[in-house]
């Protein structure tokens, strides 16, 4: 199969760099365009990017010219890792010009005609796209993935919601610095410290989780009816968001039944054998002090969420810890999986 040309908006950022990595040897897609701000455009990628990955920059992007985020790129699909100050307008312009936009930015996530998709959990939410196209009068599309903490949480509670029902979720996050992009927070603020506030994060975790795990009606989404209470904290960790979660289930289940549910869970991404889909979306650890960001965040290529310390809860029913890679599973990898899903379902023909 001839590879499909794709572009990356915000190619120089933390998420953009992960897009470069996951797309570099992709079997279906080929990076043809890179775009970013005026600061970067008109320069060779390697001359303008602050490459912060532990693996070398792929040869093929080094000499590529970074362009402006104008909707005249030679490709039909764009992945967006744009800063939210510009993502809204730019993504609208691209969809209006006929591009399929797979976005990580917050701007369109809660739009009533825009799907917020996790390929394993709510692939059917993509069915809103024909309505979106009619409603907006465009040939393109905007498909979003959630906030990085919301993805990690939803992937862990989603299988339990399907099996046992879900009444309430309480989550406390410990979020990596890379979640704030590059250069992110000043070192004097975060080193040896915990910051118990991330602007807008708790609201995103609460509302986006309900949209993802809610239902798509004819032309609109009905959010899930369980309550979510989130506390968000920034911690001096480079990559990987850790979350302590307590849940009240619809019907009682033992720790063993909950663990079995996670271990047996597979979604459409696995059924369709999508190239970026992890074999097991939720992996359960038995060690008493795992998962840990430094030791575990890159396990399963950063595409599974890792659960540990599963036990019963004296306030709710079950409590556990979950870890996910914020720029992989929580951003670029999730977006790529959504594009693979749309392509495999024939929506991009
Ligand atoms: N980091 C995470 O863990 C994570 C997870 C999920 C979602 N997200 C979301 O993904 C998006 C990117 O996050 P990030 O962490 O990668 O941020 P980042 O490192 O700050 O990168 C931002 C990107 O946006 C570009 N940009 C900024 N202003 C622009 C403008 N006026 N016009 C065109 N391009 C512009 C930057 O280009 P220049 O280099 O040229 O300035 C850069 O490529 C954000 O919306 C964020 O909320 C991030």
pLDDT digits (tens, 9 = 90+) for 36-81: 999 999 999 999 999 999 999 999 999 999 999 999 999 999 999 9
Of the candidates 236, 233, 242, which has an alpha carbon nearest to the alpha carbon of residue 321?
A: 242
Per-residue pLDDT at 193:
98
> Does ligand 1 have an atom closer than 6 angstroms to the CB of 331?
yes
- Closest residue by CA, ligand 1 atom 11: 81
Ligand 1: residue of 39, 82, 332 to mutate (most ligand atoms within 8 A of CB) is 82
20, 50, 83: residue to mutate for ligand 1 pocket, most atoms within 8 A of CB: 83
pLDDT of residue 349: 84
Mean pLDDT taken over the chain: 97
Is this prediction's pTM over 0.85?
A: yes
Task: Return the closest-CA partner of residue 13 out of 38, 42, 36.
Answer: 36
Q: Are strands 4-9 and 215-216 parallel, antiparallel or unpaired?
A: unpaired
Tell me if 303 CB under 6 Å of ligand 1.
Answer: no
Q: Which helix (H) or strand (E) holds 347?
A: none
* Residues above pLDDT 70, as percent of the chain: 100
| Both structure tokens of 324 | 């996910």
Closest CA to 114 of 81, 138, 85, 97: 138
Average pLDDT over residues 213-218: 95
Average pLDDT over residues 326-345: 98
Cis peptide, bond prior to residue 291, ω within 30 of zero: yes
Task: Quote the pLDDT of residue 218.
Answer: 86
- What pLDDT score was predicted for residue 264? 98
Q: What is the mean pLDDT of residues 214-226?
A: 95
Q: Does ligand 1 lie within 6 Å of residue 16's CB atom?
A: yes
- pLDDT at residue 1 above 90? no
Q: 179: Cβ below 6 Å to ligand 1?
A: yes
Is the shortest distance between the CB of 240 and ligand 1 below 6 Å?
Answer: no
Q: Is the confidence at residue 251, as pLDDT, over 90?
A: yes
Tell me the domains of the chain and their CATH numbers: 4-147+332-344 (3.40.50.720), 148-326 (3.30.360.10)
* Residues 47 and 71: beta-carbon distance below 8 Å: no
Nearest residue (CA) to ligand 1, atom 2: 179
Q: Which stretches of 43-161 are assigned E, i.e. beta strand?
A: 66-68, 77-80, 100-103, 141-144
Q: Is the CB of 156 under 6 A from ligand 1?
A: no
Please identify, by atom number, the ligand 1 atom nearest to the C-alpha of residue 12.
Answer: 43
Say what the pLDDT of residue 289 is. 98
Rounded Cα–Cα distance for residues 146 and 48 (Å): 28
**CB of 101 closer than 8 Å to CB of 69:** no
Confidence of residue 99 (pLDDT cuts 50, 70, 90): very high
Closest atom of ligand 1 to CA, residue 327:
3
Average pLDDT over residues 265-288: 98
pLDDT average, residue stretch 333-348 = 97
């Amino acid at each position: 199969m001839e590879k499909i040309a794709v572009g990356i908006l915000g190619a120089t950022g933390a998420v953009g760099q992960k897009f470069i990595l996951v797309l570099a040897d992709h079997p279906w897609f080929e990076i043809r365009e890179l775009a970013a701000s005026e600061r970067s455009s008109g320069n060779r990628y390697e001359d303008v990017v602050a490459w912060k990955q532990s693996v070398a920059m792929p040869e093929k992007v080094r000499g590529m010219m970074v362009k402006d985020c104008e909707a005249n790129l030679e490709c039909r699909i764009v992945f967006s890792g744009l800063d939210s100050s510009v993502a809204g307008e730019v993504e609208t312009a691209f969809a209006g010009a006929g591009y399929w936009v797979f976005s990580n930015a917050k701007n369109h996530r809660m739009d009533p005609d825009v799907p917020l998709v996790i390929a394993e959990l709510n692939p059917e939410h993509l069915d809103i796209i024909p309505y979106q196209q009619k409603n907006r009068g465009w040939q393109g599309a905007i498909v979003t993935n959630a906030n990085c903490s919301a993805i990690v949480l939803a992937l862990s509670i989603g299988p339990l919601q399907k099996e046992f029902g879900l009444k309430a979720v309480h989550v406390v996050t410990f979020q990596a610095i890379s979640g704030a992009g590059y250069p992110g927070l000043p070192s004097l603020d975060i080193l040896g410290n915990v910051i118990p506030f991330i602007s807008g994060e708790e609201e995103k975790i609460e509302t986006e989780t309900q949209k993802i795990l809610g239902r798509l009606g004819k032309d609109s989404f009905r959010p899930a009816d369980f309550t979510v209470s989130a506390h968000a904290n920034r911690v001096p960790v480079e990559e990987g968001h850790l979350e302590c979660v307590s849940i009240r289930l619809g019907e009682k289940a033992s720790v063993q039944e909950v663990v079995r549910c996670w271990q047996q869970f597979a979604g459409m991404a696995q059924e369709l054998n999508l190239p970026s889909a992890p074999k097991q979306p939720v992996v359960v650890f038995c060690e008493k002090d795992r998962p840990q960001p430094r030791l575990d965040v890159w396990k399963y290529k950063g595409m599974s969420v890792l659960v540990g310390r599963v036990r019963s809860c004296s306030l709710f029913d079950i409590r556990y810890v979950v870890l996910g890679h914020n720029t992989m599973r929580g951003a670029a990898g999730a977006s790529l999986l959504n594009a693979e899903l749309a392509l495999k379902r024939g929506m991009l023909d």
